[in-house]
Amino acid sequence: MTESQIESGLGRDSQRIARGPAAIATWNFGKTAVETSGQILIEGGSALDAVEKGINVIELDASECSVGYGGLPNADGIVEVDAAIMDGKTHDAGSVAGLKHIKCPISVARRVMEASDHAMLVGDGALAFAITHGFQIEHLLTDESKAKWKAWLEKSSGVDLTTHDTIGLVTLDEQGNMASGCSTSGLGYKHPGRVGDSPLIGSGLYMDNDVGGAAATGLGEEILKFCPCFLTVEYMRNGYSPMDACRKTIGRILDKKPQNRKVSIALVALNRRAEFGAASTQPNFPYAIWTPQNSEVRNTKGGNLDQK
């Protein structure tokens, strides 16, 4: 067995000591998320707790209009959220889609993973599950997002394929366990019932403790056709660094559909050696990284220009 096979996880070398803790997240708001995760990780908390709590902070921030509370509503003025979580230690996953009235969908996704026999719940069934498990029914529409929706209605300008973001987060704890998660209110003013990539395992996120994990953000209608997070982890398994793995995945997407250059698609990745990567179809995608020594926002170059 070669060193690269061992390092990429093909050898399943349980002796190998990961150099955690570490965290990476999408967008500028990811800095708050990774710093929240980092606090948990530095105190010896689990990668899974770090993902959930890091994402909760963004879900509860009313000023973020693409995630959880304060997220932009669908065309009917109702906020529908999607979220998913994956535990590298157990290779279990849970997700919710088209969920209404719950401020922290990532926590419901975790409950689906840990306390149900299922992996994914949608719509009214997901809401009933959340209520049964003690989650409060709440108003997700803030005055600000309601005003934006009303302005959109007056313009009657159709679906806006540029109004969206996701908090995607990947963590590595001191024990060498990893987790990934994502949460979004999806496309602003979407058709009711529309679901993007975020709650789909392999598309919006993926995790394998032997290798590492990835999370995606951008136009879900295109992302989910490429299973890009699964692909990125498989590139890492085959020896690519997280940066090169993200770049290869974005390259694959652009090779197959060059018109996706006009579409925002971005990936973040972290491997079990605490190495980071990110790439995007368009320039200047911001992502946040955290280690015990450092917390900062970096930017990709975009397209085929992303460099190490």
The residues annotated as belonging to the active site are 166
> Any contact of residue 217 with ligand ASP (CB under 6 A)?
yes
* Residue 245 tokens, joined: 């793995």
* Helices assigned H by DSSP within the chain: 3-8, 30-42, 47-59, 105-115, 123-132, 143-155, 220-223, 228-237, 242-256
| CA–CA separation, 303 and 283 (whole Å) | 7
Residue 228 binds ligand ASP (CB under 6 A)? no
Can residue 232 be called a binding residue for ligand ASP (CB under 6 A)? no
- Kindly report the backbone phi and psi dihedral angles of residue 36, in degrees, each rounded to the nearest multiple of 5, phi listed first: -65, -45
Give the residue at shortest CB distance from ligand ASP.
220
Smallest distance from the beta carbon of 217 to ligand ASP, in angstroms? 3
Side-chain-side CA neighbours of 259 within 13 Å: the count stands at 1
Query: Interface with ligand ASP includes 286 (CB under 6 A)?
Result: no
Q: How far is the CB of 117 from ligand ASP (least distance, A)?
A: 26
Pairing of strands 120-122, 92-100: parallel
Q: Which is nearer to ligand ASP, 16 or 257 (CB)?
A: 257
Indicate the residue among 226 and 240 with the shorter CB distance to ligand ASP. Answer: 226
Q: Which of the stretches 14-22, 124-132, 193-201, 268-276 binds ligand ASP when contact is defined by CB under 6 A?
A: 193-201
For the chain, the first-to-last Cα distance in angstroms comes to 27
Give the Cα separation of 269 and 193 in Å (integer).
Answer: 29
Can residue 166 be called a binding residue for ligand ASP (CB under 6 A)? yes
Distance from chain centroid for Cα 229: 10
Query: How many chain residues are in contact with ligand ASP, going by CB under 6 A?
Result: 14
Taking contact as CB under 6 A, which single stretch among the options 16-24, 46-54, 160-168, 251-259 is the one that binds ligand ASP? 160-168
Distance CA 45, CA 2 (A): 33
Q: Is 237 in the site for ligand ASP (CB under 6 A)?
A: no
x-marked contacts with ligand ASP along 115-154 as a string, rule CB under 6 A: ----------------------------------------
To the nearest 10°, report the CA torsion of 181, 17, 22, 305. -90
Please pick, from the candidates 68, 70, 196, 286, the single residue that binds ligand ASP as defined by CB under 6 A. 196
Nearer to ligand ASP, 113 or 223 (CB): 223
Give, as one character, the DSSP assignment of residue 9: T
Q: Residue 164, interface with ligand ASP (CB under 6 A)?
A: yes
Q: Of the candidates 165, 208, 275, 306, which one interacts with ligand ASP according to CB under 6 A? A: 165
Burial of 221 (0-12, 13-18, 19+ CB in 10 A): middle
Least distance (Å) between residue 300 CB and ligand ASP = 15
Which positions lie near ligand ASP, rule CB under 6 A?
164-166, 184, 186-187, 196-198, 217-220, 223
